[in-house]
Chain A
Amino acid sequence: MIRLEGITKSFAGKEGAVAALDGIDLTIARGEIFGIIGSSGAGKSTLVRLINLLERPDGGEVFVGGERVTDARGQRLRALRRSIGMVFQHFNLLSARTVAGNVAYPLELTGAYGRNEIAERVAALLDRVGLSEHARKYPRQLSGGQKQRVGIARALACEPAVLLCDEATSALDPQTTGAVLDLLRQINRDLGVTVVLITHEMDVIRRACDRVAVLDRGRVVEEGPVTGVFLHPRHAATLRLVREAEPDGGSLDAAAASDLGGRAVRLTFTGPAAHKPILGRIARENLVDYAILAGRVGHIRETPYAQFIVSLSGRDVAGAIAGLRASGVDVELQGVAAVPEIEGRARHVV
Chain B
Amino acid sequence: MSFDNLYWGDIGAALAQTLAMVGGALLLTVAAGLPLGILLFLTGRQQMFQAPLAYGSLSFVLSIIRSVPFIILLIVLMPITVIVTGTSLGIRGVIFPLVVGTAPFFARLVETALREVDRGIIEASLAMGASTTQTIFRAVLPEALPSLLAAITVTAIVLVDYTAMSGAIGGGGLGDLAIRYGYHRFQTEIMLVCVAILIVFVQLIQASGNRLVAHFSRK
B-side contacts of A54, CB under 8 Å: 123, 126-127
Residues B138 and A105 in contact, CB atoms below 8 Å apart: yes
Residue on A nearest B126 in the bound complex, by CB = A54
Q: Which B residues are in CB contact (< 8 Å) with A88? A: 120, 123-124
Chain B nearest Cβ from A82, distance in angstroms? 4
How would you classify the secondary structure of chain B's contact residues: helix, strand, loop or mixed? helix
Interface size of A by Cβ–Cβ distance < 8 Å? 27
- Cβ of B176 under 8 Å from chain A: no
Contacts of B134 in A (CB 8 A): 109
Provide the A168-208 mask, 1 if CB < 8 A to any CB of B, else 0: 00000000000000000000000000000000000000000
Q: Which residues of chain B are within 8 angstroms of A84 by Cβ–Cβ distance?
A: 127
Tell me whether B142 and A96 are in contact (CB under 8 A). yes
Docked complex Cα distance between A45 and B24 (Å): 49
A78 adjacent to B129 (CB under 8 Å):
yes
Q: Are A95 and B218 in contact (CB under 8 A)?
A: yes
A54–B122 alpha-carbon span in the complex (Å): 11
A80, A105, A108: most-surrounded residue (chain B CB, <10 A): A105
Contact at B129–A94, with CB atoms within 8 Å? no
Smallest beta-carbon distance B192→chain A, Å: 44
Which of A82, A92, A105 has its CB near the most chain B CB atoms (within 10 A)?
A92
Complex Cα distance, B118 from A90, in Å, reads 10
For A139, list chain B residues within 8 Å (CB): 218
B154 touches A (CB below 8 Å):
no
- Give the CA-CA distance A95 to B143 in the complex, in Å: 7
Which one of B118, B128, B145 contacts A105 once the chains associate, using CB atoms below 8 Å?
B128
Q: How far is the CA of A138 from the CA of B217 in the complex (A)?
A: 11
- The yes or no answer to A217 lying at the interface (CB within 8 A) is no
Q: Note all chain B residues with C-beta closer than 8 A to A79.
A: 129
B139 within 8 A of A: yes
Q: Is A23 interfacial (CB-CB < 8 Å)?
A: no
Say whether, besides A109-B130, A109-B138, A158-B129, A94 and B219 are in contact (CB < 8 Å). Answer: no
State how many angstroms separate the Cβ of B128 from the closest Cβ of chain A: 4
Does A154 touch B at the CB level, under 8 Å? Answer: yes
Q: Roughly how many angstroms separate A110 CA and B134 CA in the complex, as a whole number? A: 10
22 sample A-B contacts, Cβ–Cβ < 8 Å, listed by A number: A54-B123, A54-B127, A78-B131, A79-B129, A80-B129, A81-B126, A82-B128, A86-B124, A86-B128, A90-B118, A92-B118, A94-B139, A94-B143, A95-B143, A95-B218, A96-B143, A96-B145, A105-B138, A105-B139, A109-B138, A110-B129, A138-B218
Give 8 nearest A-B pairs by CB, closest first.
A92-B124, A82-B129, A92-B120, A81-B129, A106-B128, A78-B129, A86-B127, A96-B142
- A residues apposed to B, CB below 8 Å: 52, 54, 78-82, 84, 86, 88, 90, 92-97, 105-106, 108-110, 138-140, 154, 158
